[in-house]
A and B are shown apart, each in its own frame.
Chain A
Amino acid sequence: MTRHIRGGGPLVAALAAALALTACGAGGRDSSDGEAAVADPGVTDDTVTIGGTFPLTGVAAPGYSEIPTGAKAYFDYVNEQGGIHGRQIEYIVKDDGYNPTTTSTVTNELVLKDEVFATVGSLGTPTQASVADYLNDEGVPQLMVSSGSLQWGDDVENRPLTFGWQPDYESEGKIIGQWVAENMPDAKVGLFLQDDDLGEDAEKGVRQFVDDQIVAVERYTSGNTDVAPQVSGLQAKDADLVLAFNTPSYTALSQLVALKTGYKPQWFYANIGSDPALVGSLLERFSEGAVAGSSAALDGVMTTEYIPGIDSADDPWVELWQQVWDEHGDDGELTNYRIYGMSQAYAFVQALEAAGEDLTRDGLVEAIEEGGTEWEGPQLAPFRYSADSHMGISGMRVVELEGGVGEPLTDVLVTDIGDAEITTDDSGQADDAPPEGGVPTS
């Protein structure tokens, strides 16, 4: 039997040597961290390295995988003009396949191996939830999470380094709910919800205003592409106004099923699922099957808007994005997802600018909390950033889609979570234009 342990000999010797070495260092444990004036990770005199995780593969990749390409194009644009305070922005993008386990792995890689200064724009509710505590524990700012869940900013005490960016789903639900209560008080409302934070938070908001108008609630599971049973459920209860909180592919799927079952309610898709360009391109081919082609596919559908999109080509912001994309983009067209990424990148550049020459993580967080509400940018309504709230954009307007263009039905309405009132925005954010050169200055 002895031959089985042959080969172990040298290994054991090596181990013994290694042990002897390490043992020499043993003694009492040192409890104080020698904290000197060391720069935060990811910052040098001429660079700042940030990271982000996105679904570049898998079922969530379509559409969403374009967001970082937009952000990257804008950072390149800024870098070309000399960067911010002399620092070039290096953006490391990792794929997590929309799988929280992978998010945890690649975020670890960003923090420990790439030593990023902060994560910016990382996407997804379940995915970012898996690393929120980790990033806060490690002291890495988790900035401008691409998701409308309330978690990104409503709990500053426990997650002091986490910031949202887009309007949260509850506020959106409230704005939509109030609009329906005021303008369609007799409608029989059906809710079509994605079965996660998106649907849940939104339902909370909507119910504040139209609780008694709701006749049916149907939930679909993301990943299950057969939504016929859910749409049939709405139809069976005779809902004539469907408020849908879903991702873009489910907008297309629900439209196809409605066509099949002859269901013709008024559709109201939340912003997240209403990208006319994407949905239109998805439905385009079915024009022979009597679905109106491309951008007209969603004609008459209502939705909301919080940044100018590809449909308003004359908007000075969209003109800037087009220029950025033409100069620094990869292959492909400028899309609303890329605009989303650029708008987010713009806000981060504002934060960098505001944090000043001596860039530290604490300084950056402080700068966002202090000045965030004042920043002018592509967003139609101001940010809510303060020492008490890290929530992002405060509002949006209701629009009706016509030929792929959103015709405003309301002014920009702003609100907050809980029972905060809905008011008309008076900041003038919706009418501003980008500064000369396209890079924010403080």
Chain B
Amino acid sequence: MRDRIVSLRRHVLARHLFLALVGLLVVVVVVESVSDYRNTQLASMAYLGIAAGGLTVLTGINGQISLGHGALMAIGAYTSALLLPDRDATVPLTVVVLAAVAVTLVVGAAVGLAAARLHGPYLAGATLALAVAVPGIALYFKETLGGEQGLRVVMPDIPVWVLDAVFFVTGQDLTRSRFTAYVGWLTLIVVFLLLANLSAGRTGRRWRAVRDDEVSAELAGIDLGRARVSAFMVSAAAAGAAGAILAFTVKLAAPSAFTLTLSLTLLAAIVLGGLGSLAGALIGAALLTFLPSVVTDIGRNAGLSDIQAAELAPLVYGLVMVAVILLAPTGIVGSLRSGLQRARSRRRTTSPTTTSKGTAS
């Protein structure tokens, strides 16, 4: 029995690794074949995706809601900005991302400890207050954190060996926006790999148990507080990485980037894609990245003024958010999956259904 479990786990790991590899290849092909403009969009999608991935673990798998992930991203972004103040900064980007993750992890632990005692609306309220409180800190400590104007993030020059390596593989010169897109998507793949493995393993089962039924989870010997805090920390760490990528992409860490709207946007992303699914988080992030400019253009072509057209984008994704909850509460991925499953079970009614929850892809 134990052997089977071990081999099963190896399978899961192998599957995730394989998917990560495929993902990597897709990223290389896509990044190399689209324009610089699309690549900055891709980088934005990467940070939204990373943060949404973290949030979907917390909300979808552990059942805790957070309206404060924007604030956690701010912490990651400011950490990166402090490490990359000018061209002379020698800290490698990997270290910057790790530092952002580490700092956010510590903050996440503190918030998670406080949050673990709260549930439902109380938790939503506390994290909501967090979302609006954190930008104020940056304003108050103007000397170190740059106030309203924020801190500039100066990306170090791309190392020559990276330039050469990329050229060797792709035959194209590496532009800066392409480089940022690569950094973002590599981070995303690593984060998603870790998140997928955690959710598929024992930790993930505990998180789900706590989400589904606290009382029975406790009876089964799961420490509720610990499960909650650990989920919050993991989720915060992902938000920290996302913050770092945001800083690289925008080249600025400023309070106005981390408004309540950002936190709500993340929540919208995981709802649109489907709660609890990493693929869903990615789809949600894609929608949020590409939808606004499409909608704005449509509005403008339909004869609306610039100002009205600009308001159209939030209106549309608000509507989509409401519609998804009402019509397809499992999100895009959930609906696809149940559709597939129905088709599949019709096809082979005899085969025993293995209950794999397939949280990652």
Binding site for B on A (CB under 8 A): 1, 4-5, 8, 11-12, 15, 18-19, 22-27, 29-30, 56-57, 61, 65, 68, 93, 95, 97-101, 104-105, 108-109, 111-113, 125-126, 129-130, 133-134, 137, 195-197, 221-222, 330
Query: In the complex the two chains form, is A98's CB within 8 Å of B171's CB?
Result: no
Given contacts A19-B29, A126-B150, A130-B251, whether A26 and B307 have CB atoms under 8 Å apart is no
Category for how many chain B residues contact A? 35 or more
Q: CB-nearest residue of chain B relative to A25? A: B171
Q: Is the C-beta of B147 less than 8 angstroms from some C-beta in chain A? A: yes
Query: In the complex the two chains form, is B250's CB within 8 Å of A29's CB?
Result: no
Bound CA span A167–B295, Å: 37
Q: CB-nearest residue of chain A relative to B246? A: A101
Query: In the complex the two chains form, is B171's CB within 8 Å of A27's CB?
Result: yes
Residues of A within 8 A of B91 (CB): none
Residues of A within 8 A of B8 (CB): 1
Query: In the complex the two chains form, is A22's CB within 8 Å of B32's CB?
Result: yes
B258 to chain A, nearest CB (A): 8
Of the candidates B29, B163, B168, B252, which one forms a contact with A129 in the assembled complex, judged by CB atoms under 8 Å apart?
A: B252
Segment at the interface with A among B35-43, B107-115, B184-192, B268-276:
B35-43
Query: In the complex the two chains form, is A57's CB within 8 Å of B307's CB?
Result: yes
Q: CB-nearest residue of chain B relative to A105? A: B44
Q: Is the C-beta of B93 less than 8 angstroms from some C-beta in chain A? A: no
Cβ contacts B169-184/A at 8 Å (1 or 0 each):
1111100110000000
Shortest Cβ-Cβ A-B pairs, 8 listed: A25-B171, A112-B37, A196-B148, A95-B310, A101-B257, A130-B252, A29-B167, A104-B250
Bound CA span A101–B253, Å: 8
Q: CB-nearest residue of chain A relative to B147? A: A196
Of the candidates B154, B164, B171, B305, which one forms a contact with A22 in the assembled complex, judged by CB atoms under 8 Å apart?
A: B171
Of the candidates A100, A109, A196, A222, which one forms a contact with B37 in the assembled complex, judged by CB atoms under 8 Å apart?
A: A109
Bound CA span A222–B249, Å: 26
Query: In the complex the two chains form, is A126's CB within 8 Å of B251's CB?
Result: no
Q: Is the C-beta of B144 less than 8 angstroms from some C-beta in chain A? A: no
B23 to chain A, nearest CB (A): 10
Residues of B within 8 A of A221 (CB): 136, 139
Report how many A-B pairs have Cβ atoms within 8 Å. Answer: 133
Q: Is the C-beta of B338 less than 8 angstroms from some C-beta in chain A? A: no
Query: In the complex the two chains form, is B306's CB within 8 Å of A130's CB?
Result: no
Binding site for A on B (CB under 8 A): 8, 11, 15, 18-19, 22, 25-26, 28-29, 32, 35-37, 40-41, 44, 136, 139, 142, 147-150, 152, 154, 163-164, 167-173, 176-177, 246, 249-252, 254, 256-257, 259, 293, 296, 305-307, 310-311, 314, 356, 358
Residues of B within 8 A of A130 (CB): 150, 250-252, 254
Which secondary structure characterizes the binding site on chain B? helix
Residues of B within 8 A of A19 (CB): 25, 28-29
Identify which of B15, B35, B257, B305 gathers the most chain A CB atoms within 10 Å of its CB: B257
A-B contact pairs, 28 of them (CB 8 A): A1-B11, A1-B15, A4-B356, A5-B18, A11-B26, A15-B29, A18-B29, A22-B170, A25-B171, A26-B168, A29-B163, A29-B173, A65-B307, A95-B306, A99-B256, A99-B257, A100-B254, A101-B252, A112-B35, A126-B256, A129-B252, A130-B150, A133-B154, A195-B139, A195-B142, A196-B148, A196-B149, A197-B148
Of the candidates B26, B296, B307, B358, which one forms a contact with A15 in the assembled complex, judged by CB atoms under 8 Å apart?
A: B26
Residues of B within 8 A of A8 (CB): 18-19, 22
Query: In the complex the two chains form, is B254's CB within 8 Å of A126's CB?
Result: yes
Of the candidates B11, B148, B250, which one forms a contact with A222 in the assembled complex, judged by CB atoms under 8 Å apart?
A: B148
B341 to chain A, nearest CB (A): 12
Query: In the complex the two chains form, is B306's CB within 8 Å of A5's CB?
Result: no
Bound CA span A339–B3, Å: 78
Query: In the complex the two chains form, is B252's CB within 8 Å of A4's CB?
Result: no
Given contacts A99-B256, A197-B149, whether A22 and B173 have CB atoms under 8 Å apart is no
Identify which of B26, B37, B163, B293 gathers the most chain A CB atoms within 10 Å of its CB: B37
Query: In the complex the two chains form, is B15's CB within 8 Å of A5's CB?
Result: yes
Given contacts A100-B250, A109-B37, A130-B252, whether A330 and B305 have CB atoms under 8 Å apart is yes
A197 to chain B, nearest CB (A): 6
Q: CB-nearest residue of chain A relative to B148? A: A196
Further contacts, 18 of them, CB under 8 A, given A8-B19, A195-B148: A4-B356, A8-B22, A19-B29, A22-B170, A25-B172, A26-B168, A29-B164, A56-B310, A57-B314, A95-B307, A99-B256, A100-B256, A101-B252, A109-B293, A113-B35, A125-B148, A133-B251, A195-B142
Given contacts A105-B44, A129-B149, A195-B139, whether A26 and B37 have CB atoms under 8 Å apart is no
Query: In the complex the two chains form, is B311's CB within 8 Å of A57's CB?
Result: yes
Residues of B within 8 A of A65 (CB): 307
Residues of A within 8 A of B176 (CB): 137
A75 to chain B, nearest CB (A): 14
B299 to chain A, nearest CB (A): 11
Given contacts A57-B307, A112-B40, whether A104 and B169 have CB atoms under 8 Å apart is no
Bound CA span A219–B17, Å: 54
Identify which of A22, A65, A101 gathers the most chain B CB atoms within 10 Å of its CB: A101
Bound CA span A221–B250, Å: 23
Q: CB-nearest residue of chain B relative to A115? A: B37
Query: In the complex the two chains form, is A15's CB within 8 Å of B25's CB?
Result: yes
Identify which of A125, A126, A137, A197 gathers the most chain B CB atoms within 10 Å of its CB: A126
Query: In the complex the two chains form, is A100's CB within 8 Å of B252's CB?
Result: yes
Bound CA span A8–B25, Å: 12
Query: In the complex the two chains form, is B169's CB within 8 Å of A22's CB?
Result: yes
Bound CA span A108–B42, Å: 12
Bound CA span A134–B154, Å: 10
Identify which of B18, B19, B26, B252 gathers the most chain A CB atoms within 10 Å of its CB: B252
Bound CA span A197–B169, Å: 46
Residues of B within 8 A of A101 (CB): 246, 250, 252, 254, 256-257
Residues of B within 8 A of A95 (CB): 296, 306-307, 310
Residues of B within 8 A of A11 (CB): 22, 26
Residues of B within 8 A of A105 (CB): 40-41, 44, 250
Bound CA span A293–B256, Å: 35
Q: CB-nearest residue of chain A relative to B170? A: A22
Residues of B within 8 A of A98 (CB): 256
